[in-house]
Amino acid sequence: MKFIVSSSTLLKNLQSVSGVLKTNNTLPILDDFLFDVQEDSLTVTASDLETTMTVRIPLEQSEETGQIAIPARILLETLKTLPDIPITFNINMESLGIEISAGEGNYKLSGHSHDEYPQKPELEDATSIKLKSDMLGRAITKTIIAAGNDDLRPVMSGVLCELSPEDIGFVATDAHKLVRYRRTDAAANEATSFILPKKPLNQLKNILPVSEEEDVNIEYTPTNASFSFENINLVCRLIDGKYPNYNAVIPQENPNKLVIERQPFLNAIRRVGIFANQSTHQIRLKISGQELYLSAEDIDYSNEAKERLNCNYEGEDMEIGFSSKFLVEMLNNIDTEEVRIEMSEPNRAGILYPVNDENQNEDILMLVMPVMLNQ
């Protein structure tokens, strides 16, 4: 089997699927890409058993068709050092020897039989929905920061996707923070929900086109979900289990409303947070009149910081503690110039909303659980 392909085209496409590969595979074959040559195109597959990605690459020339597994690391490292030139793959399908010619260079390596490579899951009787690429990318980016890492609670380590005839929603929480992202300019034919794992979502986030024109075709069954766009397809296994009732933790009555410029607030939290206890990251917010006082201390090291900011505030004077780390994550993930924080009691969650979001079809809610203050 022989084919010719542009080195830069091959590298770009291999990199788009290589994020699926793990470094500590129990099956050696999962360290490989699966190459499938059919006439004028090459389909490359990468898999970790849970997630499978394929990318279709046009070939400049090909002779014969066939499949072979090629070690991923050595191929990627070689391609990274090559200029944009045509490279020729000559593959002996009997011995599985691979010879790569690029300009004046000649490289040989051994492939593996395609028989051992895991098959891509087929989605039978799947339901489908089309979403704009930038919308899906934004939904993932906004919510994934709140997904947990607890192996004992796998449902909390994913993102809940809720589809309905009225809107679509994405929710993630790790019990300390929560993000709910909704769009009213997209809808499904029928109501359903499923939990998407974090790893494939991170993959998608990195490679989704930012174009508003590009559609992503999403297909889903009770066990798997598939995302197709341009020349790429990603299939992942869904997380099995029931997502917690996240609405129950969102306080409904929040009479204390603080509106503040996002960037100065974020910078002040970063500075004050440096002086906080490095295990709790606790900072104190004291709101009195139209002034917000930020403070933190680390008694063990005699570190202390205080700052004052102007704000617009409606409600009773109050003091509340938050993790500076979580607040920074949330504020970094809001795009508007101002942010609104709604609170009820010092022991109840604070809710962050963007102020004057230009996209009227977008509804973003971010929740942060308080840290009990040491009096």
Tens digit of pLDDT for each residue in 176-196? Answer: 999 999 999 999 999 999 999
Does residue 223 sit in the same domain as residue 295? no
Does residue 110 sit in the same domain as residue 6? yes
Q: What are phi and psi of 180, to 5 degrees?
A: -120, 125
Does residue 80 sit in the same domain as residue 59? yes
CATH classification of the domain holding 292: 3.10.150.10
Q: What rounded mean pLDDT belongs to the chain?
A: 95
8 Å CB contact between 342 and 350: yes
Q: What are phi and psi of 311, to 5 degrees?
A: -155, 170
Q: Which own/partner pairs from 268-272 qualify as long-range (CB within 8 Å, at least 24 positions apart)?
A: 268/294, 268/307, 268/309, 269/294, 269/324, 269/327, 269/328, 269/331, 270/324, 270/328, 271/305, 271/307, 272/296, 272/305, 272/306, 272/307, 272/324
Tell me what pLDDT residue 23 has.
Answer: 87
Tell me what pLDDT residue 307 has.
Answer: 97
pLDDT along the chain (375 residues), means of 10: 96 97 91 95 97 96 95 97 96 97 96 95 94 96 95 93 97 97 95 96 93 91 97 97 95 96 98 95 96 96 96 96 97 96 96 92 96 76
**pLDDT tens-place string over residues 228-280:** 999 999 999 999 999 999 999 999 999 999 999 999 999 999 999 999 999 99
Tell me what pLDDT residue 24 has.
Answer: 87
Does residue 132 sit in the same domain as residue 91? no
Does residue 96 sit in the same domain as residue 143? no
373 in a domain, yes or no? no
Give the structural domain span for 180: 127-242
pTM, to two decimals: 0.93
Does residue 230 sit in the same domain as residue 133? yes
Does residue 275 sit in the same domain as residue 195? no
Tell me the percentage of the chain whose pLDDT exceeds 90.
94
